[in-house]
Structure 1
Amino acid sequence: MSKILPEKYRHPYAFNPKYKKSAVYFSMEFAIDQCLKIYSGGLGFLAGSHMRSAYDLKQNVVGIGILWKKGYYDQFKQEDLSMGVLFQEKNYHFLEDTNIKFTIKINNHDVWVTAFYLKPETFGTVPMFFLSTDLPENDYLAKSTTFRLYDSDTNAKVAQTMVLGLGGAKLLDALDYEPDVYHLNEAHAVSCVFHLYNKFKSVEAIREKMVITTHTPEEAGNEKHNIHFLESLSFFDGLPLDKVREITGIYDDTFNHTLVGLRLSRIANGVSKLHGEVSRDMWKDYPGICPITHITNAQNKKYWVDPWLDEAFQNKDRDALIKRKTRLKAKLFEVVADQTGKIFDPNVFTIIWARRFAEYKRPDLITRDYERFIKLLANTDKPVQIIFAGKPYPMDYGAIHNFDNLTHISKNIKNMAVLTGHELKLSRQLKEGADVWLNNPRVTREASGTSGMTAAMNGALNFSTNDGWVREFKDLNKTQNSFVLPIVDHTLPTHQQDEMDLENLYEMLENKILPLYYDTPKKWWNLVETSMKQIVPFFDSSRMVDEYYKKLYK
């Protein structure tokens, strides 16, 4: 086997000697550029930053993902302003057809798979390959496997993971490329281990090469399926069930994808210090798992930061910094006006909550004391504007109801807006335009939650519950750089946790944050500059991808 990619797919640089070991990074989603709509949220944002920083540091990394023909979905508002879901075909003329074709078995049928190539020069990433089953050789069912990211049909979703795992491993064979490291970003691609077993005939050989990143902070959130169901879908690449049980150590009928990934990797990582601790505790009673370390998530500053804002900050020119931040708020408020018909004021304190809508993230928490919320937004002495944005899973009707309810509340409030289309472009605009970036998940539920990092890079202060990455950020250098709520007892019933967090949120907002912003602006900007200074270098993804080599690939 060759260790060198075919010439036309090689990296456009000589490898930094620290990063010469070859690694292939498998991910269901990558958020690389606004025009390449193959991501849903945080997992993809992280993977996109990883691919950009690996390129910046001249690492020997290759990315493998899936070319989702209809993306995740396009979000819009229907006639009554409730949220609509549109699946629309996407075409990408900047991707190169490799003309590589091979088959994998799905449901005991041959399914043809092809790969498209993203040149490093296009967006500043390492070489990347995107798999597709949208080929004339396939019937409609097989073609549609790579239509929608995270298909809500269980059979289809498992088939998708097989395209990534088995298909990704077979693509490397077709390229005659054998990397030193197979890096699974989550357990989606874990089916690749069965192809590798057929190839190497040894669990030790797989373990020598495989590492896994886990993002889910609770055991119940990890994908599980009936082992006979998976066998019927040809998930095990032709291996008999007795051999599968021997390889994976799973002797009952519940196949836990993350558990198998942890058993067949030589090392794993959680995505924040706290998440590493939670993961070690979560899996400690399962025999045969690999050591779990942590590598705190980070984001690619070069991509995310507004260059003029950063220049003013680097030059220690506070007047220019304030002027640019005000301009960025005005630019965001053009989007608000366009979508909602509301005119926001760049001189008014602006709160933004924007991320995937999920129950534990509590998008609507601040509105749950409705009288207090209305009083907050009616205050003319210390005025407040608030913006919400985010894309629920398209079949998560509870989260969609939450989105619709916020839209309904906002109809009669001139300084509250709910925006659609939360993808890379809008995400960047929201961070550039935020004064505070509100993040209020129930503590221990958010593995990392990286959006506040890029908000801080753009002069927004984090206002958060004490979970995920913020726990590490707030303790940097022992100087205040954010507003973090006290931890409530997470063993309490959730309604009690929510009530206590809500009370603490209002207490901090009304008695600390607003007076600081309006009464002592100099101190406000001191805090903004402290936050901008402390967010890098630790939360820039150059540190993160360096740590992957030091801690995982070594």
Structure 2
Amino acid sequence: LQGLLADPAFRKDVGDLVQARRDAARAPAWFQQTYPRPPLTCAAYFSMEFMLSEALPIYSGGLGNVAGDQLKAASDLGVPVIGVGLLYQQGYFRQLIDRDGAQQALYPYNDPGQLPIMPLRHSNGEWLRIQLGLPGHPIWLRAWQVQVGRVKLYLLDSNDAANYPPYRGITSELYGGAPDQRLMQEVILGIGGWRLLAALGIEPEVCHLNEGHAALAVLERARHFMQRTGQPFGVALAATRAGNLFTTHTAVAAGFDRFPPGLIEHCLGGYASNQLGITLDDLL
């Protein structure tokens, strides 16, 4: 490797390839050529998992495959899409077959310093963090960015030193944990994800939910409309509904989370009454 780096011809070839990729990324793609004055400036794509590469193991299977391919296709076509997901400390388990033929589940740690991601930072260099009010204590979420060609994927995780230990583990595993952890993951993805976009100054015309895990983004979007216009929740929900899309990958009962009303009240009762101005029955 050192010998290649010392070769001027090799360095020039690598530099030419890098520059060609940069030029291609800046050149108008199909969307820009077809719609020089597009009515769509941004579509936010929410998903619990994204399969982009083995180097970023935050996926399980088919749903992540669909989400990852959507971002890659959007990049190729130049469609103005941004992704919103979660960064898992362990992700989904890695399969190991032992000598007896039995499956062993391994959960290696995803070290952010070894992943193709970078922290999102304010102009002053401080890490961009989002605060959510969960029952008992507020929680801080760290924000990350993944570059997928022309497209950006934003990720949130709760493994912040400012959080209580149980909260740091909310984003530990994909599709793991008890129902309360799963619900809090969906709170982070939906509510936290929309707040992250607001903190970045991004106002998507379209909110695309890849399965129901990010359904709470619909409520947070309505809440932001309420703040801007002073309208009640019912009006805000109706006004923003046309820009919300839902697609399902697993159209069977086992593919959808169900939470008991008591858990919904515990995690979201205060949010519903204090920030949306609705009752628990309205929320349910």
> TM-score, length-normalised on structure 2?
0.76
Answering whether residue 264 of structure 2 is matched by residue 239 of structure 1, we say no
Which residue in the other structure is 2:95 paired with? Answer: 75
Deviation (angstroms), 1:220: 6.1
Which residue in the other structure is 2:13 paired with? Answer: none
Seen in structure 2, the aligned counterparts of structure 1 residues 13 and 161 have a Cα distance that, compared at 3 Å, is farther
Structure 1 residues 124-523: aligned runs within 5 Å: 124=149, 126-201=151-226, 202-219=236-253, 221-234=255-268, 237-239=271-273, 243=278, 250=284
Check conservation: 1:68, 1:146, Cα contact below 8 A.
Answer: yes
Deviation (angstroms), 1:155: 0.8
Q: Work out the CA distance in 1 between the residues paired with 2:177 and 2:277.
A: 30
Structure 1 residue corresponding to 2:141, chosen from 89, 109, 113: 113
The CA RMSD measured in Å over matched residues stands at 2.3
User: Could you list the per-position Cα deviations for residues 326-382 of structure 1 after superposition, in whole angstroms to 9, with x for gaps in the alignment?
Assistant: xxxxxxxxxxxxxxxxxxxxxxxxxxxxxxxxxxxxxxxxxxxxxxxxxxxxxxxxx
> TM-score, length-normalised on structure 1?
0.40
- What is the count of residue pairs matched by the alignment? 236
Deviation (angstroms), 1:205: 2.2
Residue 81 of structure 1 aligns to a residue whose secondary structure is: coil
Seen in structure 2, the aligned counterparts of structure 1 residues 102 and 147 have a Cα distance that, compared at 3 Å, is same
Check conservation: 2:273, 2:280, Cα contact below 8 A.
Answer: no
Q: Work out the CA distance in 2 between the residues paired with 1:101 and 1:93.
A: 19
Residue 28 of structure 1 aligns to a residue whose secondary structure is: coil
Q: Work out the CA distance in 1 between the residues paired with 2:78 and 2:165.
A: 41
Answering whether residue 58 of structure 2 is matched by residue 38 of structure 1, we say yes
Deviation (angstroms), 1:244: 5.0
Which residue in the other structure is 1:97 paired with? Answer: 119
Residue 234 of structure 1 aligns to a residue whose secondary structure is: helix
Q: Work out the CA distance in 1 between the residues paired with 2:278 and 2:244.
A: 19
Seen in structure 2, the aligned counterparts of structure 1 residues 244 and 203 have a Cα distance that, compared at 3 Å, is farther
Residue 112 of structure 1 aligns to a residue whose secondary structure is: strand
Q: Work out the CA distance in 2 between the residues paired with 1:203 and 1:27.
A: 21
Larger Rg: 1
Seen in structure 2, the aligned counterparts of structure 1 residues 219 and 112 have a Cα distance that, compared at 3 Å, is same
Check conservation: 2:272, 2:280, Cα contact below 8 A.
Answer: no
Deviation (angstroms), 1:199: 1.5
Q: Work out the CA distance in 1 between the residues paired with 2:157 and 2:254.
A: 30
Residue 237 of structure 1 aligns to a residue whose secondary structure is: helix
Which residue in the other structure is 2:12 paired with? Answer: none
Deviation (angstroms), 1:200: 1.3
Amino acid at match of 2:210: N
Deviation (angstroms), 1:226: 2.1
Answering whether residue 82 of structure 2 is matched by residue 62 of structure 1, we say yes
Seen in structure 2, the aligned counterparts of structure 1 residues 143 and 204 have a Cα distance that, compared at 3 Å, is same
Q: Work out the CA distance in 2 between the residues paired with 1:131 and 1:178.
A: 18
Deviation (angstroms), 1:90: 1.3
Which residue in the other structure is 1:297 paired with? Answer: none
Residue 85 of structure 2 aligns to a residue whose secondary structure is: strand
Deviation (angstroms), 1:75: 1.2
Q: Work out the CA distance in 2 between the residues paired with 1:35 and 1:154.
A: 29
Contiguous gaps of at least 5 residues in structure 1: 1-10, 251-554
Check conservation: 2:58, 2:87, Cα contact below 8 A.
Answer: yes
Amino acid at match of 1:190: A
User: Could you list the per-position Cα deviations for residues 444-475 of structure 1 after superposition, in whole angstroms to 9, with x for gaps in the alignment?
Assistant: xxxxxxxxxxxxxxxxxxxxxxxxxxxxxxxx
Check conservation: 1:195, 1:237, Cα contact below 8 A.
Answer: no
Q: Work out the CA distance in 2 between the residues paired with 1:236 and 1:41.
A: 35
* Comparing 198-207 and 50-59, the one that deviates more: 198-207
Amino acid at match of 1:214: T
**Greater RCO, CA 8 A, separation 6+:** 2
Seen in structure 2, the aligned counterparts of structure 1 residues 125 and 236 have a Cα distance that, compared at 3 Å, is farther
